[in-house]
Structure 1
């Protein structure tokens, strides 16, 4: 028997739709940004698809998309909502295949996390004091390597998984052309570990987009040390973009 979503879960979904889908001009700007990264027919991975605004922007840029979303309600929404060209998988990504315990704040599902202790650590961080992680779900965990084996090598991997970015990147052993991962000022160690992992894959250069803006913070791309210095000064969350210059010899 199918269980109907509770009012609190539906309110969280509605809140996310208002934030991420009710401002079409922002989504068009995101598609233009992705159009500078992706070429028609390229493959992109959306790790932590949430309500699909990033997947839709990748599709609008002409890419094929593999989208991962482990939350049951959001996955069910995406299964009905994502346009053709997207392959939707109900799973999270991590360092190894298996299962994990996803902490979910039902009114704020955008900050669900597999990171151990995330709720306790972020509960007192600026901007998170109002969030209650009041549900949990055991979810399937795959790896970026497994996705590449199943679907092919992507040109672009976007990772937004609330403090679990370093674990996702630990499951990648292949250099890819572009990687974007979210950073949170309260979790500098996650950003540091993510940069270290990317640097092991090949020679990359980096830039940063603050918050939900669509422009890069740096006029000239920089190395891992340069982007780490920028992140140390950043007061807002955002996305680090890494583009491959040279694969390892």
Structure 2
């Protein structure tokens, strides 16, 4: 129990204990979201993006299967009518799945055993252990869209399960993001292929990259898929993780 409390406390300090970071996050997401928009936060964790998006007047659908994180989300946002907390995982199809929880570092809890095996070989993950396993109910993004409407922005940060999440979506959204981790470079490219196919009927996505939670874009202009891959290859040897952002059509600076 003590280890679980320490793990969640660490997340709270990291994601809610830095006022400057919160202000940067609000400014950053203003490019994608505004009052009255619907945003999907898939892998909401302890709600740092929920908090920022609510500051922008967004109705947030916060999806999170980890019980300890859900307790935090309900404590912070349970009375906020602008936040809908969905205590489920998201995947390619509805059903049940096994979630591996890292008690000490709950930010890397994952339903992808392949991803766990890949990143465990990286030095930065040398102390990470997935020491608890629970069965969770899984819903698809299509089902969430049917219930809550099409989001203006969909953030997907589920530690190697992003491809499964986006496979369960069959209509493009205006903008989305997914995590990039250099040790799992090939997995990120597989996600990019899914996003490319998803956006094709609507004219395709353009991309940018924000390294290591800087909340700043690495490129001054929005890129096509091939240019994004080239950009990620520059960050790959540095071991710098971050988030890929995709938006339909042209972005500022194109």
TM norm. shorter chain > 0.5: yes
Query: Which residue is 2:65 aligned to?
Result: 70
- The alpha carbon displacement at 1:150 in A equals 0.6
Q: 1:68-103 CA deviation, whole Å, 9 max, x = no partner?
A: 110011111211112441100111111111111111
Counterpart in the other structure of 1:243:
247
Structure 2: runs of 5+ lacking an equivalent: none
> Is residue 157 from structure 1 mapped to residue 154 from structure 2 by the alignment?
yes
Q: SS at the partner of 2:9?
A: helix
TM-score under structure 2 normalisation? 0.92
The question of whether the paired residues in 1 share the 8 Å contact of 2:115 and 2:184 is answered with: no
Query: Could you list the per-position Cα deviations for residues 185-223 of structure 1 after superposition, in whole angstroms to 9, with x for gaps in the alignment?
Result: 011122111111111122010000000101110001110
Alpha-carbon distance in 1 for matches of 2:234, 2:163? 20
Contact 1:164-1:190 at 8 Å conserved across structures: no
Q: Secondary structure at the residue paired with 1:96? A: coil
Aligned to 2:34: 39
Name whichever structure is richer in helix by fraction: 2
Unpaired runs of 5+ residues, structure 1, are: 1-5
- In structure 1, the partner of 2:182 is 185
Aligned length: 241
Query: 5 Å matches for 1:76-225?
Result: 76-82=71-77, 83-202=80-199, 203-225=204-226
**8 Å Cα contact 2:102-2:109 kept in structure 1:** yes
Q: Show the counterpart of 2:54.
A: 59
Contact 1:38/1:155, CA 8 A, preserved across alignment: yes
SS, match of residue 218 in structure 1 = coil
Q: CA RMSD in A?
A: 1.2
Q: TM-score, normalised by structure 1?
A: 0.94
Partners of 1:199 and 1:66 in 2: CA distance: 24
Q: State the secondary structure of the residue aligned to 2:249.
A: strand
Structure 1 outlier segments of 4+, above 4 Å = none
User: Aligned equivalents of 1:144 and 1:114: distance in 2?
Assistant: 16
